[in-house]
Each structure stands twice: as C-alpha cells, then as structure tokens.
Amino acid sequence: MTLGEVLKGHGLTGAARKKALQTGKVWVRGVPTADAGRQVEAEDVELRERAPRIVVGRDPAVVYRDDHLAVVWKPSGLLSVAAPKRGSDDNLVSLLARIFGQAHPVHRLDEPTSGLMMVALSEIAQNRLKALLEERAVERRYLALVHKHVSPEWERIEAPLGRLEHTGLRAVVREGLPSVTHVRGVQNLPRSVALVEARLESGRTHQVRIHLAHCGHPVVGDSLYGRRRDRFGRVALHAWKLAFDHPLRKGRLAFEAVLADDIEKHRRWLIRESR
C-alpha cells in the first residue's frame, strides 16, 4: 500500500494529502516524508497535525529531545557544523542552539548525506556521548545506492584511512588510521545499481564513501570518490539507524529513519525505467 493510499483511507482529500505531505505533517516510522508513492505499512504512518511546519527534504526535524540531547533528521545539503569560509551558511548545530539555547556537536554527517544525527544539549552529555563513540558503543548504520550489484552476505572492509600526500584527498593509505565498515547488499536494482546497508565499526570522515569506492562500489552521485556522472543530484547516502545507551539516564535509545524521499524515488525510478 502506498502512503498516498493510506492517507486517503484516513479521509484526506487530494488537496489535503498534498498539503500535509508538503508541510511536514506526515511521519513514517518516526520521521517526516513527502513521498506519497512509497510503500508503507498503515500502522507506521502518523498524521501529526501539530508538528512544526517544515519543507521535507530542506528543513531538519527533531525526532527526539530531552534535557541532555536531541536526535535530528538532517536533510541533504545542510552542514552539520560550521565550516571554514562558510560562516554565513546555516548548520544543524547552530540552528538547534538558537531553538534550545545551547547545542554541542558530537559527530557529524557529510553535507550531502541525509538522516539521523545526535546533538548534545549540555556539555556533560557531549563529553559522555563522545566517549561512547570512542568506545564504539554507538550503533550507526547507513543505506546507500552504489554502482554494481552487491552480495547479501555481510562483508568486512578493513582499510586504513588518511590523506594522499600529493593531493590531500582522503583515501585508503597504508599508514592511515584503522577503519572498519561492514557492508551487505539489500536489493540489487536495474542498471547495475544496488541498495546496500553499511554498519560503522569506526567512524572516520567519509569512511563509508571511501570504503565502498575502494571495494569497487562507489556511491551513486559521489563525484569526489566515484568519479562518475550520475542522474542523481547528490551523494546517495542516508544515515538510517542510530542506537546508543542514554549518556545520563538508564535505558537505550534507538531510532530508524526510512530512506530519504529523493533516494527512495530514484530507487523506484530505476525499477520503472527498466520495464
């Protein structure tokens, strides 16, 4: 059943469905979506009429918040933190600081990457969350569209990461930092593209993108490491799962974000165009 069909079953007219989707009032499995054509389970769909008005795919959305931390759905194209020479550009941490009074970075997602990101709302939470990351006690999983089909069996990619001496580009280098990514194929698609899942063991900058390219499966849309021209406007990488023990309270927090609208639409386009 498509999301549009579920919303129709809720009694929404076509105009009402369109407005709800475009303004961030429709959430699937805890995150906003504007993709009426995606396949969903009816019980996973929420109509949040009181949710803040946002443009899905452009604006961030707070998935969880308490006194110590927030988990946020970051859209592609938004910086995680302030970047050199881009001081006037919005970034997720600064936006949250304006909303909540303070916000502190813990980890980051690349600017073109969408999905779940945690942000500390106190300095003690920041220190303890960073410690969890260093202990590799935070589960972080990604979904990506990549070139060439991939086996459904988990593969361990262990390749040290650093910078190339002559260009400064991040890459697999012999004397780099130890880095491990686990990858499996989720769905092999037409045009020799695959949807894959990647699980981080370490968390280096651009790790998933570099490791996948190193194994001959560059991420669709990644001109930096893939060196390819694609019909997709950004790096097709999405942080879909985040799980960790609360840094200051008992209990585990776990979040999942369905595939970003633009990646999901491209996945369906690949299937449709091959028929």
Whether residue 222 is predicted with pLDDT greater than 80 in this model: the reply is: yes
Whether residue 274 is predicted with pLDDT greater than 80 in this model: the reply is: no
Contacts of 56 (CB under 8 A, 6+ apart): 21, 22, 24, 32, 33, 34, 75, 261
First and final C-alpha spacing in the chain: 21
Share the mean pLDDT of the chain: 94
Quickly count: other Cβ atoms within 10 Å of residue 227's Cβ: 9
110 is catalytic: yes
User: 178 burial class (0-12, 13-18, 19+ CB within 10 angstroms)?
Assistant: exposed
Whether residue 56 is predicted with pLDDT greater than 90 in this model: the reply is: yes
| pLDDT of res. 202 | 87
| pLDDT of res. 46 | 95
Asked whether 131 and 119 are in contact (CB, 8 A), the reply is: no
Q: Which one is catalytic: 35, 110, 230, 262?
A: 110
Tokens 């050199």 belong to residue? 84
Domains and CATH numbers, the chain: 1-53 (3.10.290), 57-273 (3.30.2350.10)
pTM: 0.94
